[in-house]
Structures are given as structure tokens and as C-alpha cells.
């Protein structure tokens, strides 16, 4: 196995982060519907393709983009109704425009620098129809201003995939100078040497995100910490929130949800 255990083993990834009820995709569909988005959709950071696949089953014309060759290969095999493309979120050029671009599960936070984030938003502007929606879901940098619960100690988890038990020991800490949430994860499984992986996410704050979006030509329609697919309590399709009510704008929760419209 390679040194990127989850990315290079999509089946293990889905076992580690299950979503059997397609909550993330159904949340996206609800948001797009409530904010008047169209049906041509680009999913940036599509991973295993399960969100893109479910959205296609709901009637969307979906393209998925990911930087992992193995993820794209897995997605193509499991979701043939979707077109999947190997590409970098900062430089992709697909030669067409979409009504909606989604960027879920903190994929946007792999833009570690201001230049990275500016480049991604530039690509979104080039690939959205005027008035198109950008929908993103990510960790909330502001959460760490008042909470250390995710930073306290090492978290251990075991998941069984194809009859093998994989145990991970994960530690998170903040790199203040780089404004990154860094992660060290050590994997153990029978018959193999321990594998250490390191990764990081940009910590973006709500006002900072608003500034980048405004500069890139977007109007923020909603910025909220709940409800969402990874909040507690989680988003549910029957909740009576609307496009302008029922969303928590305290922005102190662990997750941050963005809906922005490209200005004509």
C-alpha cells in the first residue's frame, strides 16, 4: 500500500467515512433547490464519487473532479452516469460552464495559501454561468477561537475493510503562522509496518471567506454553521428552514456552510 492509505483505497475511505443515506448529496440538492440553482453541476473534490452519483440519480447533469487517480478510477467504475475528470482544483479547465459548483467535506481547505484560494475561485468564476451557485461545506476556523475539544489528545479508531482491521491514531494541532489545522495519523494493520500520514487544512474565518468571495465576484447568499450533513443535530430534509430563515448564523460551530452566487 502507498503512503496515502485512504485516498489510494477508496473502499477503505468509504468504510472510514460512511454516508449510506447520502446525507451530503441530499443536503446539496436541498440547498440548490432552495436557492434557485440549475441542474448542471460540477463537484470539485468528488472523491469516491458517491455524492456525484446520487445527485445524478436525482436528475442532475454531473461532472466530478478530483486530483486522485485512484479515486477517479473508482468513481468511474461505480457511478457510470457521471463524467469524472482528473484535475487540480486550482488549475482545471473543462471548457464548459455549470449552474452549480459544489466543494464538500472541507475540500476547499486544501487551498493552503491565499494564492491557492484565489486560483480556485478564479476557476469557479470561469466555469459558472452568470448567477450560478457555489456551495461549499468545510471546517470552521472560528470554531477554534473558543474550543480545543478537537485538539485534546489522540483519537483512536478501528475500521474493518475486506476482513482486515485498520486502526488509526490521529492528532490535530494548529499551525498558527501558516493558519493551518495540521493532522498526523498513524495507521496499524496486521502484517504491515505502521504508516504515518500528514495532512493539513486551511483555517478560514467567516469574514475572511466573505472578503475572498467578494473580490472574486461572488455575493454570499448564506453562511451558516448548522444545519449541515456533518452537524449535530444533522440537517434533515423535512426541517422548515428556508433560504432566509432557520439557519444558524452564530458561526461558532465546527462546520461552515457557504452558498454564494456569481454576480452577472
Which residues partner with 196 through β-bridges?
Answer: 186
Cell of 116: 491557492
Angle, alpha carbons 38-44-48 (nearest 5°): 110
Same domain for 188 and 70, yes or no, is no
pLDDT of residue 238: 63
d(CA 94, CA 227): 32
Are 100 and 77 in contact, with CB atoms under 8 Å apart? no
Return d(Cα 131, Cα 40) in angstroms, integer.
13
| pLDDT reported for residue 228 | 95
Per-residue model confidence as pLDDT tens digits over 21-59 = 999 999 999 999 999 999 999 999 999 999 999 999 999
Residue 5 maps to a domain:
no
Confidence of residue 2 (pLDDT cuts 50, 70, 90): very low
Are 17 and 121 contained in the same domain?
yes
**What would the mean pLDDT of 192-200 be, rounded to a whole number?**
95
The residue from 157, 182, 201 where one domain ends is 201
**Cell match 478530483: residue?**
66
What distance in Å separates the CA atoms of residue 53 and residue 40, rounded to the nearest whole number? 13
Over residues 90-112, mean pLDDT = 98
Radius of gyration for the alpha carbons in the chain, expressed in angstroms and rounded: 18
Q: pLDDT exceeding 90 applies to what percent of the chain?
A: 92
State the virtual CA torsion across 171, 177, 178, 179 in degrees, nearest 10. Answer: 70
Residues 154 and 93 occupy one common structural domain = no
Cβ count near 243 (within 10 Å): 14
Same domain, 79 and 188: no
Q: Is the pTM of this model over 0.75?
A: yes
Backbone angles phi, psi at 24, to 5 degrees: -65, -45
Same domain, 134 and 156: no
Q: What is the mean pLDDT of the chain?
A: 94
3-state secondary structure of 188: strand
**Is residue 145 scored above 90 in pLDDT?**
yes
Query: What sections of the chain are H helices per DSSP?
Result: 10-16, 23-34, 50-57, 69-78, 114-127, 206-215
| Residue with the larger pLDDT of the pair 17 and 246 | 17
Indicate if the pLDDT at residue 240 is higher than 90.
no
Domain range for 235 is 10-143+204-262
| Domains: count for the chain | 2
Task: Identify whether residues 69 and 190 lie together within a single domain.
Answer: no
Residue 121 forms part of a structural domain? yes
pLDDT(87) > 70:
yes
- Residue 144 gets which letter from DSSP? G
Amino acid at each position: 500500500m502507498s503512503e496515502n492509505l485512504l485516498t489510494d483505497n477508496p473502499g477503505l475511505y468509504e468504510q472510514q467515512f460512511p454516508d449510506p443515506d447520502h446525507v451530503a448529496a441530499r443536503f446539496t440538492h436541498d440547498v440548490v433547490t432552495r436557492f434557485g440553482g440549475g441542474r448542471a453541476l460540477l463537484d470539485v473534490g468528488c472523491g469516491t464519487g458517491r455524492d456525484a452519483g446520487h445527485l445524478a440519480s436525482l436528475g442532475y447533469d454531473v461532472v466530478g473532479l478530483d486530483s486522485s487517480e485512484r479515486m477517479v478510477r473508482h468513481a468511474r467504475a461505480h457511478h457510470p452516469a457521471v463524467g469524472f475528470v482528473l484535475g487540480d482544483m486550482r488549475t482545471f479547465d473543462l471548457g464548459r460552464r455549470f449552474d452549480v459548483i459544489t466543494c464538500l467535506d472541507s475540500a476547499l481547505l486544501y487551498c493552503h495559501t491565499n494564492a491557492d484560494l484565489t486560483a480556485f475561485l478564479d476557476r469557479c468564476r470561469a466555469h459558472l454561468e452568470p448567477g450560478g451557485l457555489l456551495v461549499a461545506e468545510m471546517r470552521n476556523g472560528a470554531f477554534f477561537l473558543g474550543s480545543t475539544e478537537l485538539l485534546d489528545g489522540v483519537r483512536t479508531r478501528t475500521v474493518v475493510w475486506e476482513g482486515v482491521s485498520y486502526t488509526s491514531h490521529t492528532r490535530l494541532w494548529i499551525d498558527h503562522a501558516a493558519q493551518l489545522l495540521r493532522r498526523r495519523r498513524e495507521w496499524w494493520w496486521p502484517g504491515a509496518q505502521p504508516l504515518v500520514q500528514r495532512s493539513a487544512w486551511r483555517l478560514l474565518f467567516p469574514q475572511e471567506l466573505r472578503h475572498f468571495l467578494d473580490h472574486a465576484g461572488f455575493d454570499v447568499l448564506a453562511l451558516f454553521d448548522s444545519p449541515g450533513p456533518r452537524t449535530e443535530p444533522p440537517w434533515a430534509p423535512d426541517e422548515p428552514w428556508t433560504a432566509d430563515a432557520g439557519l444558524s448564523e452564530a458561526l461558532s460551530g465546527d462546520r461552515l456552510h457557504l452558498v454564494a452566487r456569481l454576480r452577472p
